[in-house]
Structure 1
């Protein structure tokens, strides 16, 4: 069953890139306090993720903060080294907390995993965005088509805040 409004986010161990290498973090620690915008992508460096989804949240991070968002985070079924390279390539500069879900543990626990095998990707995260307050989902938008960025776009999230 997919994560829905009113659900508490699953507490899963992930990794976040740091200058000293990957750092283990718990989702309850990173996403469980204050107002958080979490968005999930099928994969770093994939077209819609790199060209539209991540850049939208980076470019409009100040607008999100002005609406009371404490943390903007991105999860992807990639390792922390790939997410670090992707953040560098897309000039994230700390505006988005990058969360590596290398084995899709969070995606599976949230019911937001998908089989991307027909695209050569294996198990990945669905594309989504959620507004979370103190660890509880307030709103979530999940894309029906992985290459689409509409229900999970920064514009849609801003309308929900």
Structure 2
């Protein structure tokens, strides 16, 4: 079952990519008492994720933060090494928090897993964006079309904040 507005995020352990390496992050702690915009992407370094989705949030970082958001997080079913390299590649490492869901546990718990095996990518995260307040989903945007970041893009989140 897919997570919905009003639901509490599941409690799992993720890895936060940082210049110092990986840090274990419990979702319950990361989202507690904060307003967070989280985006989910099919994979680091993939075209739409790298050229559109993440850059849109990095470019609108100040505008999003000005609307009371404490953090912007990017989630992908990749390991923390890949997420760290992607953070550096995008130049957004000091703006966005890159969260690795290496085994897809959080993605499955959200009900947002998609099978991209036919494209050689295996189990991945559907493209989405959400606004989370104190662990509760307040807004949820799931992208239906592949290769686009419109429904889940920064402009949509800015409209919702």
1:146 Cα offset (Å) = 3.1
Per the alignment, in what secondary structure is the counterpart of residue 39 of structure 2? strand
Task: Report the secondary structure of 2:73's partner residue.
Answer: strand
Per the alignment, residue 77 of structure 1 pairs with: 77
Cα RMSD after superposing both structures: 0.9
Conserved in 1, the CA contact under 8 Å of 2:126 and 2:142?
yes
Partner of 2:9: 9
Q: 1:140 maps to what in 2?
A: 140
Contact 1:35 1:133 in 2 (8 A): yes
The alignment covers a number of residue pairs equal to: 161
CA distance in 2, matches of 1:109, 1:30: 16
| CA shift digits 1:79-117 (9 cap, x unpaired) | 011011111011013211110001111100000010010
The separation in 1 between residues aligned to 2:115 and 2:106, in whole angstroms, is: 15
Q: Equivalent residue for 2:40?
A: 40
Deviations 1:110-153 (A, max 9, x none): 00010010111000000000001111000100011232111100
Given that 2:2 and 2:112 are in contact with CA atoms closer than 8 Å, whether structure 1 keeps it comes out as yes
Structure 1 unaligned regions, length at least 5: none
Runs of 4+ aligned residues of structure 1 deviating over 2 Å after TM superposition are: none
Contact map agreement 1:44 1:83 (CA 8 A) in 2: yes
**TM-score normalised to the size of structure 1?**
0.97
Give me the whole-angstrom Cα distance separating, in 2, the residues matched to 1:79 and 1:70. Answer: 24
* Local SS of the residue matching 2:30: helix
Offset at 1:22? 1.3
